[in-house]
Amino acid sequence: MSDLQAAPGLDVATLAIGILGGTGDQGRGLARRFALAGNPVIIGSRSAERAVAAAQALGADLGIRGMANADAAAAADVVIVAVPWDGHGDLLKSLVAALAGKIVIDCVNPMGFDQRGAYPLPVAEGSAAQQAAAVLPGSVVVGAFHHVSAMLLLDPEVASIELDVLVLGDDRSATDLVQALAARIPGARGLYAGRLRNCGQIEALTANLVSINRRYKAHAGLRVTDV
Ligand SMILES: NC(=O)c1ccc[n+]([C@@H]2O[C@H](COP(=O)([O-])OP(=O)(O)OC[C@H]3O[C@@H](n4cnc5c(N)ncnc54)[C@H](OP(=O)(O)O)[C@@H]3O)[C@@H](O)[C@H]2O)c1
């Protein structure tokens, strides 16, 4: 897809945001923050009932809706992929038509865990985001929100999440829009961090953050200096 096909006319303040796998911690956390910021949000799930239940559990006042993943994808302006790496490729293959012409934001970190902790999994396409781009030729894929802790997003005691959201992609209008979306989370700043081919090390870096979190009992995020 060429530049500007995905983002023109989209106002970040009114964007309808769909979240695939939105019943999980990361999806519910992002749903909550974007709904608090005033965006219409749709939680997607393999089960419409689970999606509705997750949306209601976040608070009826937030107005979050719940639908099957395909319906959430179709109803949203921008779609966030928040499923485990295991189900990533197959889910996206099933949604090629529903996601065509949309910005798809991938926050998936392909990671394994063993007795020594977290480690990045090799991905044939280079990264989860590049796999999404390969599976979804009619969508504009952007990588973002890899390092935002679901625990902080969900915590009602945390008013502001101080970190930079690294945003990667090949379409300037789409990365600009996702940077603006990241900035709707209080304390967060969206920062362009390169083309999609550089998303692998961003996803892999999450394993380092998991190690930091375990050692220091933290929910670590990143800040880039001098920008
Ligand atoms: N947790 C974090 O702090 C965090 C931070 C940054 C990025 N991420 C990334 O965000 C993604 C989601 O993380 P999470 O902790 O929310 O994961 P999760 O709770 O394990 O999964 C999220 C949702 O994905 C759906 N799902 C599970 N297996 C699936 C499959 N095989 N195919 C399709 N859908 C499936 C489930 O929803 P239904 O059963 O309702 O369909 C589940 O509720 C991961 O890729 C992770 O790397 C997580």
- Summarize pLDDT for 143-174 with one digit per residue, the tens: 999 999 999 999 999 999 999 999 999 999 99
Ligand 1 centroid, distance to 25 Cα (angstroms): 7
Query: pLDDT tens digit string along 78-94?
Result: 999 999 999 999 999 99
Ligand 1 in contact with 117 (CB < 6 A)?
no
Query: What sign has the CA pseudo-torsion 108, 52, 97, 37?
Result: negative
Q: Phi/psi of residue 119, each to 5°?
A: -150, 150
| Rounded alpha-carbon distances, angstroms, from residue 220 to 145, 148, 150, 198 | 13, 8, 11, 21
Euclidean distance between CA atoms 22 and 51, whole angstroms:
7
Query: Does position 222 have pLDDT exceeding 90, yes or no?
Result: yes
- Each residue of 91-131: pLDDT tens digit? 999 999 999 999 999 999 999 999 999 999 999 999 999 99
Q: How far is the CA of 14 from the centre of ligand 1 (A)?
A: 25
Alpha carbon of 84 to ligand 1 centroid (Å): 4
* DSSP for 95-112, written as a single string: THHHHTTSEEEE----EE
Q: 87 CA distance to ligand 1 centroid (A)?
A: 9
Atom of ligand 1 nearest to the CA of 26: 16
Q: How far is the CA of 107 from the centre of ligand 1 (A)?
A: 10
Closest-CA residue, ligand 1 atom 20, reads: 84
Query: Which of 20, 23, 26, 56 best tests ligand 1's pocket when mutated (most atoms within 8 Å of CB)?
Result: 26
| Ligand 1 centroid from CA 128, angstroms | 13
Note the pLDDT tens digit of each residue in 175-219.
999 999 999 999 999 999 999 999 999 999 999 999 999 999 999
Residue 207 near residue 148 (C-beta atoms within 8 A) = no
Task: Indicate if ligand 1 lies below 6 Å from the C-beta of 160.
Answer: no
Looking at residue 3, what is its pLDDT?
Answer: 41
Instruction: Please give the biggest Cα pair distance in the chain.
Output: 49
Cα of 149 from ligand 1 centre, angstroms: 13
Residue 10 binned pLDDT confidence (cut-offs 50, 70, 90): confident
The answer to pTM > 0.85 is: yes
Task: Tell me the pLDDT band of 37, cut-offs 50, 70 and 90.
Answer: very high
pLDDT for 2 beyond 50? no
Contact 131, 125 (CB under 8 A): yes
- Residues 190, 202: Cα–Cα separation, whole Å: 14
- Whether residue 88 contacts residue 131, with contact meaning beta carbons closer than 8 Å, is answered with yes
Q: State the DSSP string of 29-56.
A: HHHHHHHHTT--EEEEESSHHHHHHHHH
Rounded-to-integer distance, Cα 59 and Cα 166, Å? 29
Please answer whether residues 108 and 128 qualify as being in contact, where contact means their C-beta atoms are separated by less than 8 angstroms.
yes
Residue 149 Cβ < 6 Å to ligand 1:
yes
Assign 6 a pLDDT band (cuts: 50, 70, 90): low
Instruction: Evaluate: CB of 47 within 6 angstroms of ligand 1.
Output: yes
